[in-house]
Amino acid sequence: MPSINNLKKRLRSYLTEEQISQVVRAYYFAEKAHEGQYRRSGDPYITHPLAVANILVDMHMDYASLMAAMLHDVIEDTGVSKEQLAEAFSEEVAELVDGVSKIAQIKFESKAEQQAENLRKMMLAMTRDIRVILVKLADRLHNMRTLHVMRAEKRKRIATETLEIYAPIAFRLGMYNMRVEYEDLAFHNIHPMRARLIGKAVQSARGNRREILSSIKTSLERSLEEEGIQARVLGREKHLYSIYQKMKEQHKPFADIMDVFGFRIIVDRVDTCYRVLGAVHNHFIPIPGRFKDYVAIPKANGYQSLHTTLKAHSGIPLEIQIRTEEMEAMANNGIAAHWLYKSHDEPGSPTHTRAQSWMKRLLEIQQKAGNSMEFIENVKVDLFPDEAYVFTPKGDIKELPAGATPVDFAYAVHTKVGTRCVAARIDGKLAALSTPLESGQTVKIITAPNATPNPGWLNFVVTGKARSNIRHFLKQQRREDAAELGQRLLEKALIPYQLDLSLLSEKTLQQELNNNHYGTVDELLEDIGMGNRLAPLVARKLAGARGENRDPEDDRLPLAIRGSEGLMVTYAKCCYPLPGDTVIGHLSAGKGIVVHRDTCKNLLAEMRDAPEKCIPLNWDKDVEQEFTAALRIELVNKRGVLATLANVVSELGSNIDTIDMAGKDPTLSIINVTLTVKHRVHLARIIKRLRTVDNVVRIHRISA
């Protein structure tokens, strides 16, 4: 059981007496506050904050973090307020404690939403001060170490959350040791039987491998001595969870995973790393394609090392990592190594700088996200471990998750570049915006001043920044389109009352806004455009007494569809309406107007169930947009007939979007085709021309 005296001894190695006395004062304050409280194990509660502080001492964290560790449960579990802490200690310590304190239990619709909100708040606290997350990670680590006293169901839930959220955050901050301990403890709690079996197998394999390991280590040391290089050579063993993951993902037995020997060679300087690489490549045969230089291009979490795989004389694969002492500390403790080596006049380490730029991105994602679940969905992508390193035309490196596309790259360069992106060149060649990028490629983004994000990009972007910015833009666009459509619907609904929206009195409008809790007229118009409020009902309320003189025939006045209404007017996929067709609109909540042909069976059903939601429409004479039409074609099975159809369609200024085989027998095929057309007459020309093609038996337009 750690004691405060043991902690004081450890602190003397790097803190002043004044700072140590502050930490001790925080300990006694917490001990008094938690008096009478006990852990599930039966230990006094103060043992937990003390253990958390001890974990942080391993990282040489500053005294304010250690004080926050002592006090981190005081606000939530005792009657002490943040203000009292600030008065007793300092504003800095109170802020840290407040950031670390477990989030007050808010009533959420689901457990997932609650966890998402908790994590969101934790992330935001961390963007204000990175020490918050380090205290939180240490708190979770001690809870994981003492998880065995919990019920099995709770153990599993906490372990799963640790694996999904805390381990990736530790990885993202470069804290290898903590991440490994998280993963192994979680593995033991989620799959105790599997963990025990793999643990026994590792022990047994370790005994059998001792001699081989020893001889390989000796020959590595000898090869370095011959080159006059001083280095530490350490044997490296895979941890249980990574063995289990590899067995599961690669469908390999335990023996195949354990036949790889790992060694770490630690030297004094960066240039010595490359000399060591030359020495080991001379002594053993390198396996092609297995060399990675994370020294020149560090991983996104600041990790630096040279990786190579060699074949030992017995044919056994050897995984070698070569790094300096400082890289070793960074690899094991990540951002916490910033405190391990920090002197006050020294600027932040590369790991610290990277972590802060990551957190800056988090803040940007949070500002654009609609809710906690969306924020977490975006952040989880950012916690993926695999990266692609891509170059800008000027030679700057951008780190992106595996599977990132030119759109992700554009947003990584700058939000404005992403918003205005229209095309990309990868290594000088034009490429689709959905192309997955690979390390080493140079990407140039082509922009246009009036370009806007495409909703289809959400199907392939992978970074949180790209996803949150596209969603934010589309929401904004959707709101603007909805307000514009809502205004047109309300103005049309006011015609029977001989009223105009611009001439309505301030008092009348304000009363309607107050009655329905709207802040502005735009909010009311958005709701109408979205289909959440019906324009005729709003118009009737606004008209008041004038409603008695209205002409009911004016309700039949159609709304003109221009085709440029944006996201709030969509065209039904069941009947594919075109300019020239008689059309009726259906107001669908959250979607705005869905345009149907008047013969559509789905529309007839809607008219029967909710006639008030159906509005008469006509086509504006200046419609210039392209629309989708659908045809069913029966044709004789002959080679080249589809190519002929495609040529005919192309010659008549159209494009085939999709072709589906609807039915087939030995002689006849039935295909459903969707193609782009300007209007009904354009489609009629295409049908007329297709009927003249050899082997086309029958053709007609599809409707619901």
Distance (Å, rounded) from C-alpha 159 to C-alpha 184?
A: 10
Is there a common fold for 4-190 and 627-701?
no
Q: What is the mean pLDDT of the chain?
A: 82
Highest mean pLDDT among 125-134, 229-238, 423-432: 423-432
Among 248-262, 388-402, 459-473, 519-533, the range with the most confident prediction by mean pLDDT is 459-473
pLDDT of 562 over the 80 cut: no
Q: Given this model, what pLDDT does residue 326 score?
A: 84
**CA 661, CA 623: separation in Å to the nearest integer?**
32
Taking 60 as the threshold, does the pLDDT of residue 552 lie above it?
A: no
What is the pLDDT at residue 385?
47
Candidate list 43, 58, 62, 76, residue with the active-site label: 76
More confident residue, 139 or 480: 139
Enter the tokens of residue 667: 């002689």
The pLDDT of residue 397 is: 74
329-356 pLDDT per residue, tens: 777 776 665 554 444 434 455 656 666 6
The residue assigned the tokens 């039915």 is 663
Q: Which tens digits make up the pLDDT trace of 641-652?
A: 888 888 888 888
Q: Give Cα 40 to chain centroid, integer Å.
A: 36
In 211-252, beta strands by DSSP E? 232-236
pLDDT at 128: 66
CATH number for the region 4-190 comes to: 1.10.3210.10
Q: Does residue 108 have a pLDDT over 50?
A: no
Inform me whether the pLDDT recorded for 27 exceeds 90.
yes
Task: State residue 514's pLDDT score.
Answer: 81
Kindly report the CATH number that applies to the domain delimited by 627-701: 3.30.70.260
Rounded CA gap, 679 and 323, in Å? 67
pLDDT of residue 697: 87
Domain ranges of the chain: 4-190, 194-341, 472-618, 627-701
Check residue 377 and give its pLDDT: 59
pLDDT cut 90: percent of the chain above it: 23
| Strand, helix or coil for residue 210 | helix
Instruction: Identify which of 193-207, 474-488, 505-519 has the greatest average pLDDT.
Output: 193-207
The token pair at 179 is 């991440």
- With 0-12 CB in 10 A as exposed, 13-18 as middle and 19+ as buried, what is 522? middle
- The DSSP 8-state label assigned to residue 36 in this structure reads T
427: three-class secondary structure by DSSP: coil
Are the C-beta atoms of 137 and 178 separated by less than 8 Å?
Answer: yes
- The residue from 43, 77, 164, 293 that is catalytic is 77
What is the C-alpha to C-alpha distance for residues 539 and 522, in angstroms, rounded to an integer? 15
Is beta strand 261-267 parallel, antiparallel or unpaired with respect to 285-286?
A: unpaired
Q: Are 561 and 617 in contact (CB under 8 A)?
A: yes
Q: How far apart are CA 354 and CA 335, in angstroms?
A: 9
Give the distance from CA 525 to its chain's centroid.
32
Q: Which range has the worst mean pLDDT, 104-108, 299-303, 585-589?
A: 104-108
Predicted pLDDT of residue 371: 64
87 is catalytic: no
| pLDDT surpasses 80 at 102 | no
Element (H, E) at 235: strand 232-236
Comparing 102-106, 293-297, 369-373, 543-547, the range with the smallest average pLDDT is 102-106
Total-model pTM: 0.58
Q: What is the pLDDT of residues 603-625, one digit of tens each?
A: 888 788 788 888 888 888 878 78
Give the pLDDT of residue 564.
66
Distance CA 621, CA 571 (A): 18
Q: Range with the lowest mean pLDDT among 317-321, 514-518, 689-693?
A: 514-518
- What value does the mean pLDDT take over residues 18-23? 93
- pLDDT value, residue 89: 92
Q: Judge whether residue 323 has pLDDT over 60.
A: yes
Give pLDDT, residue 359. Answer: 63
Residue 360: what pLDDT? Answer: 65
> Do residues 486 and 524 touch, judged by C-beta distance below 8 A?
yes
Per DSSP, what are the bridge partners of residue 446? 423
Does the structure show a pLDDT above 60 at 474? yes
Comparing 145-159, 467-481, 574-588, 682-696, the range with the smallest average pLDDT is 467-481
pLDDT grade for 104, boundaries at 50, 70 and 90? very low
Residue 686: what residue type? I
Average pLDDT over residues 522-529: 82
CA distance 679 to 177: 65
Residue type, 86: A
* pLDDT band for position 550 (cuts 50, 70, 90): low
CA distance 266 to 234: 8
| pLDDT tens digit sequence for 153-186 | 999 989 998 888 788 888 877 788 899 999 999 9
Q: 592 pairs with which residues across the strands?
A: 588
Q: Which fold is adopted by the domain 194-341?
A: Beta Polymerase; domain 2 (3.30.460)
Is there a contact between 31 and 53 (Cβ–Cβ < 8 Å)? no
- Residue 683 reports pLDDT greater than 60: yes
What is the pLDDT, as a whole number, of residue 363? 65
Would you call 77 a catalytic residue per the annotation? yes
Q: What is the mean pLDDT of residues 480-491?
A: 82
What is the distance between the alpha carbons of residues 242 and 147, in angstroms, rounded to a whole number? 21
